[in-house]
């Protein structure tokens, strides 16, 4: 089987799992386990419930109120437990595992600080709609509310950042609670679900029965789009002269990539993607214009500004995409397709709203268009967009060789080269948050969904590295590379030990600028170069740190070292850290200032002006930018 075939097979498997989820059935044995009807402790029933859900990997950290559950876990032959070095790390690992595999990520931690350490991880998963089940130990029911040792009201603390949560009150509810948790986490718009379990319930005896189906009267996600609205959408598309698809994470979640490509190609409609939508459409597809918004390309942003119909699918009009909302897509009617009714009308009031699963809705839309005998839109529009792509590329080799400091490494060049070296069918890239994340978004090309994992909504520094470990555990045959910054990598650096203990050969590539680069960049552009607390000293020595943890490590700072170092990193069978030193004053371009309209772009490369960075709004007058030559890269 080729890698592409195996990707198709894995998509089929994910679709089957999606169907199981929607039907309310357990992902594993359900009631057909050896545990059915047996008397056991609550702790044993927790582990049995996970096994009945087909869980084979969990991420966690033990502690006093979870000790009974860990004792039961010790006997499990089906569940592999990954011991993190911090509960936040465990939660991001489960998140990375879930994003990469499409399965529900499971976290097990103790009460008090163990539980509160998962908060950032839960919030990260919530903002990006990732299915997690987080199991927290709790103090015994009798002492809840008395400020007992390691007590925290984790259900209360996490209320704003969970899809749902349970404080288990009786062993009678235990198995049903687990079924409901997996059902709620994995269906509709996915999200994290927390189960808080008082430790006396873990010790109590109960008879085990696992439910084979579930139905919750107050929870009924809508999957099929309203037929009348689908028809209206089709009519809008057929009338449009300059349509554009804005694809978000909902495409990835619902496995709608094929339907998206079909709509785009048969109708000749270009596509822009949000950060969460990266991988929704192959980067090699000529219709894919890639990143849009604050650090999107000028051509993608201009496409939004010029389109007369915007088809938003599984996207939520984040401020990082829209910039100034009132000037976003000013000439466009909007079709908004999303499974979450609350997203529709939240930021932008659509002409045609469609609540439903992106895959199901796009399939019916494609069918409708086919039935109506829809013709592709006039090819002048796509040709025009392509000419913008020629004029304002993200980056060019010519520009790379023309920068002011030829003996230093340009981050765009490293990441582009890494992208070329990775097998798109057998690799996953994760990122931390900051400049490196945006450079990766712009320069790493992906062909498949679930192969670019990044904290989008939450923007969590410290996410990417543990997520890479989780992704590698979920997809052991894929090469997994975390692109990090020297700031964010240090936020969960302790997980280097987990990679060794678990023998997970992840690769970490640090874009090391000795600064908190993104904030530094804002200070440079918008705060009069007042670099308030954003400079980092050159500690730790990351190569020595790698050595201390039993990793391989290497530091490079000259352009001629890049290729060899990348080859060495990718060839390594062990965890490998590559520290790539770049100048502090590198800026991610193009950029739209926060709150500005997205055609007011700083630092786009303009080939027609000889490949220099220019700034200004729209097309500028007479083919010239409004304010030419203002921003030039590397102007230390």
Partner 1 sequence: MMKHILSVLVENKPGVLSRVTGMISRRGFNIGSLTVAPTEDQNLSRMTIIVEADDVGFEQITKQLHKLVSVFKISDLTEDDAIERELVLFKVQCTPERRHEIIEIAGVFRANIVDVGKNTLTVEATGTESKLDALEDLFRSYGIRQLTRTGKIAMSRGHDQ
Choice between 217 and 571, CB closer to partner 1: 217
Nearer to partner 1, 218 or 532 (CB): 218
Give the position of tokens 């170092």.
565
Gap between the Cα atoms of 50 and 119, Å rounded:
22
Length of the chain: 636
Interface with partner 1 by CB under 8 A: which range of 212-220, 421-429, 492-500, 564-572? 212-220
DSSP secondary-structure letter at 375? P
HEC-encoded secondary structure of 184-215: HHHCCCCCEEEEEEEHHHHHCEEECCCCCCCC
> Interface with partner 1 includes 219 (CB under 8 A)?
yes
Question: Which span sits near partner 1 by CB under 8 A: 198-206, 215-223, 278-286, 307-315?
Answer: 215-223
CB of 3 closer than 8 Å to CB of 426: yes
Is residue 25 a contact residue for partner 1 (CB under 8 A)? no
Beta carbons of 483 and 440 less than 8 angstroms apart:
yes
Residue 531 has phi, psi (to 5 degrees) of -85, 75
Residue among 164 and 632 whose Cβ is closer to partner 1:
164
Site for partner 1 in 181-200 (CB under 8 A): 184
Residue 9 binds partner 1, judged by CB under 8 A: no
Q: Quote the least distance from Cβ 198 to partner 1, whole Å.
A: 13
| 157 binds partner 1 per the rule CB under 8 A | no
Taking the C-alpha atoms of residue 599 and residue 616, their distance in angstroms, rounded to an integer, is 8
Contacts of 522 (CB under 8 A, 6+ apart): none
Of 352, 340, 275, nearest to 309 by C-alpha is 352
Please say whether the beta carbons of 454 and 468 come within 8 A.
no
**Shortest distance, CB of residue 332 to partner 1, whole angstroms?**
19
Yes or no: say if 588 and 435 are a contact pair by the CB < 8 Å rule.
yes
- Quick count: other Cβ atoms within 10 Å of Cβ 620? 16
CB within 8 Å of 421: residues ≥ 6 apart: 566, 567, 570
Number of residues that bind partner 1 (CB under 8 A): 18
Which listed residue (164, 209, 324, 421) binds partner 1 by CB under 8 A? 164
CA distance 247 to 203: 48
Q: Tell me if 155 sits within 8 A of 197, measured CB to CB.
A: no
216 binds partner 1 (CB under 8 A): yes
Residue 113 in the binding site for partner 1 (CB under 8 A): no
304: CB partners within 8 A, 6+ apart: 244, 246, 272, 292, 310, 328, 329, 332, 598
Identify which of residues 161 and 510 has a Cβ nearer to partner 1 in the complex. Answer: 161
- Give the separation between CA 350 and CA 359, rounded to whole angstroms: 19
Which of these segments, 211-219, 224-232, 404-412, 578-586, binds partner 1 (CB under 8 A)? 211-219
Among 217, 537, 571, 622, binds partner 1 (CB under 8 A): 217
**Residue nearer to partner 1 on the CB measure, 345 or 380:** 345
Q: Is 126 exposed, middle or buried (0-12, 13-18, 19+ CB in 10 A)?
A: buried
- Cα(460)–Cα(463) distance, integer angstroms: 6
Smaller CB separation from partner 1, 169 or 205: 169
When asked if residue 167 is in the footprint of partner 1 (CB under 8 A), the reply is yes
Stretch that binds partner 1, among 11-19, 210-218, 248-256, 480-488 (CB under 8 A): 210-218
Cα-based torsion angle of the residue sequence 37, 38, 42, 48 in order, rounded to the nearest 10 degrees? -80
Query: Please, which residue, 11 or 157, has the CB nearer to partner 1?
Result: 157
Per-residue x/- track, 487-506, partner 1 (CB under 8 A) = --------------------
Among 108-116, 338-346, 365-373, 574-582, the segment contacting partner 1 (CB under 8 A): 338-346
Q: Which of residues 242-281 bind partner 1 (CB under 8 A)?
A: none
Minimum CB distance to partner 1, residue 309 (Å): 23
Region class of 286: left (phi > 0), else alpha (psi between -120 and 50), else beta: alpha
Buried b (16+ CB within 10 A) or exposed e, 221-253: ebbebbeebbbbbbebbbebebbbbbbbbbbbb
C-beta closer to partner 1: residue 344 or 480: 344
Residue 188 CB, nearest distance to partner 1 (Å)?
9
**Shortest CB 413 distance to partner 1, Å:** 44
Q: How far apart are the first and last CA of the chain?
A: 51
Q: Which residue among 40, 83, 143, 155 contacts partner 1 (CB under 8 A)?
A: 155
Q: How far is the CB of 63 from partner 1 (least distance, A)?
A: 24
From candidates 156, 380, 406, 550, binder to partner 1 by CB under 8 A: 156
Q: Which is nearer to partner 1, 163 or 524 (CB)?
A: 163
SS (H, E, C) 65-81: HHHHHHHHHCCCCCCEE
CB of 223 vs partner 1, minimal distance in Å: 16
Work out whether 346 is an interface residue with partner 1 (CB under 8 A): yes
Q: Determine which residue in the list 71, 212, 340, 574 makes contact with partner 1, applying CB under 8 A.
A: 340
* Token couple for 358: 């992106």
Binding of residue 176 to partner 1 (CB under 8 A): no
- Copy the structure tokens of residue 123: 């919030």
Taking CB under 8 A as the binding criterion, the range among 26-34, 159-167, 390-398, 410-418 that sits at the site for partner 1 is 159-167
β-bridge pairing 271-273 and 80-83: unpaired
Q: Tell which one of 16, 159, 383, 548 touches partner 1 (CB under 8 A).
A: 159
Q: Per CB under 8 A, which region of 38-46, 340-348, 402-410, 434-442 contacts partner 1? A: 340-348
Among positions 54, 203, 341, 611, the unique one binding partner 1 when judged by CB under 8 A: 341
Q: Counting contacts by CB under 8 A, is residue 16 touching partner 1?
A: no
Least distance (Å) between residue 344 CB and partner 1: 8
Among 8, 9, 16, 342, binds partner 1 (CB under 8 A): 342
Residues forming contacts to partner 1 in the complex (CB under 8 A) are 155-156, 159-160, 163-164, 167, 184, 216-219, 340-342, 345-346, 349
């Amino acid at each position: 089987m080729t890698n592409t075939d195996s990707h198709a097979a894995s998509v089929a498997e994910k679709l089957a799992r999606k169907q199981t989820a929607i039907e309310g059935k357990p992902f594993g044995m359900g009631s057909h386990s050896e545990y059915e009807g047996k008397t056991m402790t609550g702790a044993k029933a927790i582990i049995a419930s996970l096994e009945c859900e087909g869980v084979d990997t969990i991420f966690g950290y033990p502690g006093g109120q979870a000790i009974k559950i860990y004792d039961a876990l010790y006997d499990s032959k089906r569940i592999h437990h990954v011991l993190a070095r911090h509960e936040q790390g465990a939660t991001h690992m489960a998140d990375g595992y879930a994003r990469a595999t499409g399965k529900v990520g499971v976290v097990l931690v103790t009460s008090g600080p163990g539980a509160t350490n998962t908060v950032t991880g839960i919030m990260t998963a919530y903002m990006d709609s990732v299915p997690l089940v987080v199991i927290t130990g709790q103090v015994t029911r009798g002492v809840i509310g008395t400020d007992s040792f390691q007590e925290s009201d984790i259900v209360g603390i996490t209320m704003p950042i969970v899809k749902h949560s349970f404080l288990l009150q009786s062993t009678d509810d235990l198995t049903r609670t687990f079924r409901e948790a997996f059902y709620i986490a994995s269906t509709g718009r996915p999200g994290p679900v927390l189960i808080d379990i008082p430790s006396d319930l873990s010790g109590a005896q109960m008879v085990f029965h696992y439910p084979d189906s579930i139905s919750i009267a107050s929870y009924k996600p809508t999957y099929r789009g309203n037929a009348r609205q689908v028809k209206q959408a089709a009519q809008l598309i057929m009338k449009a002269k300059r349509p554009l698809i804005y694809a978000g994470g909902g495409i990835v979640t619902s496995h709608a990539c094929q339907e998206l490509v079909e709509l785009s190609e048969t109708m000749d409609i270009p596509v822009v993607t949000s950060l969460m939508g990266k991988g929704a459409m192959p980067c090699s597809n000529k219709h894919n214009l890639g990143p849009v918004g604050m650090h999107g390309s000028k051509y993608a942003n201009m496409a939004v500004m010029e389109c007369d119909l915007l088809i938003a699918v599984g996207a939520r009009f984040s401020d990082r995409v829209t910039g100034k909302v009132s000037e976003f897509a000013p000439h466009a009617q909007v079709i908004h397709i999303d499974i979450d009714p609350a997203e529709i009308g939240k930021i932008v009031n659509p002409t045609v709203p469609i609540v439903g699963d992106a895959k199901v809705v796009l399939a019916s839309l494609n069918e409708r268009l086919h039935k109506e005998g829809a013709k592709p839109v006039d090819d002048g529009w796509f040709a025009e967009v392509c000419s913008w792509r020629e004029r304002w590329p993200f980056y060019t080799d010519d520009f790379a060789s023309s920068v002011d400091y030829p003996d230093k490494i340009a981050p765009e060049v490293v990441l582009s080269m890494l992208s070329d070296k990775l097998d798109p069918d057998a690799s996953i890239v994760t990122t931390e948050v900051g400049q490196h994340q945006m450079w990766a978004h712009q320069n790493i090309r992906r062909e498949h969904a679930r192969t670019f994992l990044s904290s989008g909504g939450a923007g969590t520094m410290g996410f990417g590295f543990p997520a890479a470990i989780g992704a590698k555990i979920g997809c052991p045959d894929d090469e997994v590379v975390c692109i990090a910054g020297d700031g964010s990598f240090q936020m969960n650096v302790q997980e280097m030990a987990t990679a060794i203990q678990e023998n997970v050969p992840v690769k970490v590539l640090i874009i090391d600028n000795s600064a908190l680069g993104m904030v530094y960049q804002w200070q440079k552009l918008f705060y009069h170069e007042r670099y308030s607390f954003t400079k980092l000293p050159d500690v730790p020595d990351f190569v020595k740190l790698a050595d201390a943890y039993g990793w391989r490590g290497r530091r490079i700072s000259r352009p001629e070292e890049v290729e060899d170092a990348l080859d060495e990193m990718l060839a390594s069978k062990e965890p490998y850290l590559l520290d790539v030193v770049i100048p502090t004053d590198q800026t991610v371009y193009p950029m739209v200032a926060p709150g500005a309209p997205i055609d007011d772009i700083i630092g786009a490369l303009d080939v027609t002006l000889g490949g220099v960075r220019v700034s200004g709004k729209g097309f500028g007058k007479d083919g010239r930018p409004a304010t030419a030559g203002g921003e030039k890269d590397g102007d230390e």
